[in-house]
Amino acid sequence: MARKMSGRHVRWGLLDLLVVIYALFPVVWIASLSLKTTATLADGNFIPRQWSLDSYQQIFQTDQFVRSLINSIGIAVISTAIAVVLAILAAYAIARLDFPGKKALVAAALLTAMFPQVSLVTPLFEIERRLGLFDTWLGLIIPYIAFALPLAIYTLTAFFQQIPWDLEKAAKTDGATQAQAFQKVIVPLAAPGVFTTMILVFIFCWNDFLFAISLTSTERARTVPAALSFFTGATQFEDPTGATSAAAVVITIPIIVFVLLFQRRIVAGLTSGAVKG
Amino acid sequence: MADVVLDKVTKRFDDGTIAVKEVDLQIADGEFVILVGPSGCGKSTLLNMIAGLEDISSGELRIGGQRVNDREPRERDIAMVFQSYALYPNMTVRENIAFPLKLAKIDKATIDKRVNDSAKLLELTELLDRRPANLSGGQRQRVAMGRAIVRSPQAFLMDEPLSNLDAKLRVQMRTVVARLQKQLGTTMVYVTHDQTEAMTLGDRVVVLRGGAVQQVGKPQALYDNPTNIFVAGFIGSPSMNFLHASVADGMLRTAVGDLPVGRRMQKMLEAPDVPDELVMGVRPEHFLDADLVEGQDLGPGVQFESTVDLVESLGSDKFVYFTIEGASASAAELEELAADTGDTAMLSGSNLTVRFPAESTATAGQPHRIWLPLNRIHLFNPATGRNLTLHDGIAAGVASD
């Protein structure tokens, strides 16, 4: 019995390892490139022969990267906050209330999610230029919210639908107003869903390249993914591979921190014990 | 504490279905009223309407003399216990019970005192700092009750509060509920689909079917004098036996023999709206073991013999099952009842369940003589379901003059 179990464990372990290697290989490669010296960049060794932090020093010395990092953080955080708050309200309404046009709203949200973003770039560019939003934070925040909302609404609706409706009824008969029932009973229980959604939306905003490259032109609002493509080497003839890799590693860190910070909150079974088991 | 009055209360959903049909009900201050019926009869909807969780389409609901149709649940001062318990999982037991008081902005010292009092009453003191996830079903149930009683509401509403408990705990909690209600003297409306709970708990029982009230009365009155075939079949366990009966030559022709009919009954049967084909209903304990009652004066009755299929001895009594040859009883309400309870034996009309005293000698496979007193027979009109044997609301049997 024990041997059988361990055999199965080994097989699963090998499979897991394969997946992890497959997923992490590009990441490790980039990390490796970022740690090489300029001279050894293309020497074909996966593990650097000569370790150096030059690339990191280089990117933080340039105003270009630091500015774009600030832009990225600011734009992603603001977009996430607004999108998630709006999505909570919308998802709650969809999950709990019956109102005219509910189906239309859900369909419209789905439609937005399916719309090819690239087809909107040119019109958005024109609109933003005329409104003076081009190359501003707001110019990116607005489309990010628009495209993150469908995803956020769908995720949160699923979470809200899992919360037993009886809890809300109980809160109401216990003397709560609709708003109090929502705030004191539903929101705390929806927290895992809210955090999951926050992570998804944040990653979406953080990773976006298309809008970031199209709707910005200077360091005023350019985010890191876009800024990376503008990296140049120390001289015209030098390849910025090392700097680009270092920047890529740096911008991965906030995502990891964000996920680690909130994954504790994403615990399943927070609602256990509310209703019969 | 207050009385609750329902005046032609109706619930019509947007799609046109009527869940509750013109329910008139007066629940006195301090009364314990049970709403009972099969699933889908509108009992929970009715309770939710009293609580304010469902709108009232038409009619009027008064609590303590005041019209509350348009008031929010929190303005009605009622407490509700849900079938699912609906405890707040993110709060401890103490916080759960204190929640209504906190919302009412009562000062902390009073909250503490009242939470502790309620906890003591329900034996929850040890559990106050636990979370619902770490409680057993019975404990969760008690917390849900604690949350209801803590603010001394005008009325308690209970929506099948015991149906998620196992059988033993259910019986135990039943007495807890009954005692609590007597102790607090608060008006209580209790919804259940379990006719045993309905019979044992309430001061009065309201039987609902398809959103309409079938009968309201004390449990015993409902059992003895059901106004229609639905109430007759629903109340009582094992349920009433239904047999086909046809009227011919002033007699009732049934599978257990021809029964003479009293003068008043005769007149009733001659009425133009009464069909010739009827349904006869007899409760299991109203059949008597002919061997045991030999020589006693039992009034008018008939004796018949049938072969025993099965005997179940309960110690105190015996349930004896017979198969009777004959046409089966048919009525729309019976079919509905059978579909709901899953008790298709009720429909076949050929099975008879009889309750004999323990000293009966009925043996499986052997023929046995049964005495059927005529004053214990109910006769129903299968078209309307009406009990034809009721006289001034009292069931008088078929031989009554």
> Is B60 inside a domain boundary?
yes
Residue of A nearest to B165 (CA): A276
Work out the angle at residue B51's Cα, subtended by the Cα atoms of residues B25 and A93, and round it to the nearest 5 degrees: 140
Pair A270, A192: CB distance under 8 Å: yes
Tokens of B38: 């099969």
For B362-381, the DSSP string reads --TTSEEEEEEEGGG-EEE-
Query: Distance between CA A61 and CA A70 in Å, rounded?
Result: 14
Instruction: Indicate yes or no: CB of B74 within 8 angstroms of CB of A277.
Output: no
- Is B401 inside a domain boundary? no
Closest CB to B89 among A174, A184, A274: A274
Judged by CB atoms closer than 8 Å, whether chains meet at B104 and A273 is answered as no
Gap from A186 CA to chain B (nearest CA, Å)? 9
Which of chain B's residues have a Cβ under 8 Å away from the Cβ of A183? Answer: none
Task: Grade residue A200 by pLDDT with cuts at 50, 70 and 90.
Answer: confident
Chain B from 113 to 132: CB within 8 A of any A CB: 131-132
Test the A interface: residue of B74, B96, B154 with most A CBs within 10 Å: B74
Whether chain A has a CB inside 8 Å of the CB on B104: the answer is: yes
Q: What is the pLDDT of residue A270?
A: 47
Query: Does residue B323 sit in the same domain as residue B356?
Result: yes
Q: Is residue B325 part of a domain?
A: yes
Mean pLDDT of chain A: 85
Summarize the confidence of residues A57-85 as an average pLDDT. Answer: 90
What CATH number does the domain containing B104 carry? Answer: 3.40.50.300
Instruction: Please give the residue that has the higher pLDDT: either A7 or B51.
Output: B51
Res B338: pLDDT: 74
Distances (CA, A) of A140 to A8, A116, A121, B299: 49, 17, 11, 95
What residues of chain A lie within 8 A of the CB of B90, using their CB? Answer: 188-189, 270
- CA geometry: angle A273, B90, A256, nearest 5 deg: 110
The answer to whether residue B388 sits within a structural domain is yes
Q: Closest approach of chain B CAs to the CA of A167, in angstroms?
A: 5
Count of domains forming chain B: 2
Inter-chain CB pairs, A–B, below 8 Å: 89
Q: At CB < 8 Å, which residues of chain A contact B?
A: 164, 166-167, 169-177, 180, 184-185, 188-189, 269-277
User: Position B166: which residue type?
Assistant: D
Query: Residue B186 belongs to what domain range?
Result: 4-224
Task: Check: CB of residue A43 under 8 Å from CB of residue A49.
Answer: yes
| B157–chain A Cβ distance below 8 A for any pair | yes
Q: Are residues B78 and B201 in the same domain?
A: yes
What strands, in cross-sheet order, belong to the sheet with B32-36? Answer: B78-81, B155-159, B187-192, B32-36, B204-209, B212-217
Residues B271, B363 share a domain: yes
Cα separation, A208 vs A203, whole angstroms: 8
Segment B178-221, tens digit of pLDDT: 998 999 999 999 999 888 899 999 899 999 998 999 999 999 99
Is B285 contained in some domain? yes
Return the number of other C-beta atoms located less than 10 Å from residue A99's C-beta. Answer: 8
Q: Give the model's confidence band at A269: pLDDT under 50 very low, under 70 low, under 90 confident, else very high.
A: very low
Pick among B49, B87, B149 to test the A interface (most A CBs inside 10 A): B87
Residue B302 falls inside a structural domain: yes
- Whether the CB-CB separation of B140 and A275 falls below 8 Å is answered with no
Write out chain B residues lying below 8 Å of A163, CB-based: none
Q: Please, which pLDDT band fits residue A105 given cuts at 50, 70 and 90?
A: confident
Give the rounded distance of the alpha carbon of B234 from its chain centre: 7
Dump strand ranges (E) for B261-313.
277-282, 288-289, 301-313
CB atoms within 10 A of CB A114: 8
For residues B322 and B380, state if they share a domain. Answer: yes
pLDDT of residue B364: 92
How far from A91 is each of A144, A193, A198, CA to CA, in Å?
18, 11, 14
Among B199, B224, B249, residue at a domain's last position: B224
Q: Are A270 and B133 in contact (CB under 8 A)?
A: no
What is the number of helices (H) and of strands (E) in chain B?
A: 12, 22
Q: Are residues B253 and B206 in the same domain?
A: no
Kindly tell me the burial class for residue B142, based on how many C-beta atoms sit within 10 Å of its own C-beta (0-12, 13-18, 19 or more): buried
With 70 as the cut, is the pLDDT of residue B91 above it? yes
My answer on whether B153 and B262 are in the same domain is no
Q: What was the pLDDT predicted at A3?
A: 54
Task: Please tell me the distance from the alpha carbon of residue B240 to that of residue B220, in angstroms, as a whole number.
Answer: 15
Question: What DSSP line would sit under B209-234, residue for residue?
Answer: ETTEEEEEE-HHHHHHS-SBHHHHHH
User: What's residue B342's pLDDT?
Assistant: 62
Answer whether A175 sits within 8 Å of B103, measured CB to CB.
yes
Shortest CA gap B167–chain A (Å)? 15
Residue B94 sits in the same domain as residue B206 = yes
Same domain for B336 and B220, yes or no, is no
Return the CATH number at B345: 2.40.50.140
Q: How far is the C-alpha of B378 from the C-alpha of B243, rounded, in Å?
A: 10
Contact B45, A133 (CB under 8 A): no
pLDDT of B343 strictly over 80 = no
Question: Which range among A131-140, B99-108, B178-187, B335-344 shows the weakest confidence by mean pLDDT?
Answer: B335-344
Alpha carbon distances (Å) from A220 to A129, A130, A142, A215, B311:
15, 18, 16, 11, 91
Q: How confident is the model at residue A1 (pLDDT cuts 50, 70, 90)?
A: very low
Q: What token pair was written down for B262?
A: 């009293």
ipTM higher than the 0.85 cut: no
Taking the Cβ of residue B15 and every Cβ of chain A, the question of whether any pair is shorter than 8 Å is answered with no
B269 and B241 together in one domain: yes
Report the alpha-carbon distance of residue B207 to residue B202 in Å, rounded.
Answer: 12
Residue A4 has pLDDT above 60, yes or no: no
Residues B245 and B220 in one domain: no
Q: A277 and B137: CB-CB below 8 Å?
A: yes
Q: Are the beta carbons of B87 and A271 separated by less than 8 Å?
A: no
Angle between helices B93-103 and B137-149 (to 10 degrees): 20
In a domain, B239, yes or no: yes
Q: How confident is the model at residue A215 (pLDDT cuts 50, 70, 90)?
A: very high
- Out of B179, B204, B224, a domain closes at B224
What pLDDT was estimated at residue B348? 57
Single out the residue in B189, B204, B224 at which a domain terminates.
B224
Q: Is B163 on the interface with A (CB under 8 A)?
A: no
Structure tokens at B265: 């009954």
Distance between B66 CA and the closest CA of chain A, angstroms: 18
B97 → chain A, closest CA residue:
A174
HSE-up (13 A, CA, CB side) for residue B146? 31
Chain B residue numbers with beta carbons less than 8 Å from the beta carbon of A185 are 88
Examine residue B400 and state whether it is found in any structural domain, yes or no. no
What are the residues whose beta carbons fall under 8 Å from the beta carbon of B379, sequence distance 6 or more? B245, B252, B265, B278, B279, B280, B281, B387, B388, B389, B398
CA dist B252 and B244 (Å) reads: 10
Yes or no: say if B155 and B189 are a contact pair by the CB < 8 Å rule.
yes
Cα A11 from Cα A22, distance rounded (Å): 17
Å between B247 CA and nearest CA of chain A: 52
Q: Parallel, antiparallel, or unpaired for β B155-159 and B78-81? A: parallel
B73 touches chain A (CB under 8 A): yes
Q: Quick one: pLDDT band at residue B341, thresholds 50, 70, 90?
A: low
In 3D space, the residue among B327, B328, B366, B360 whose CA is nearest the CA of residue B345 turns out to be B328
Round to whole Å and give the CA distance between B153 and A167.
Answer: 19
Question: Using an 8 Å Cβ cutoff, are B20 and B48 in contact?
Answer: no
**pLDDT > 90 fraction of chain B, expressed in percent and rounded:** 56
Distance, in Å, from the CA atom of B58 to the CA atom of B56, rounded to the nearest integer, reads: 6
CA pair distance A139, B51, nearest whole angstrom: 49
On whether both B35 and B161 belong to a single domain, the answer is yes
Contact B80 A272 (CB under 8 A): no
Regarding whether B219 and B337 lie in a shared domain, the answer is no
- Whether the CB-CB separation of B324 and B243 falls below 8 Å is answered with yes
Q: In this complex, do A177 and B72 lie within 8 Å of one another by their Cβ atoms?
A: yes
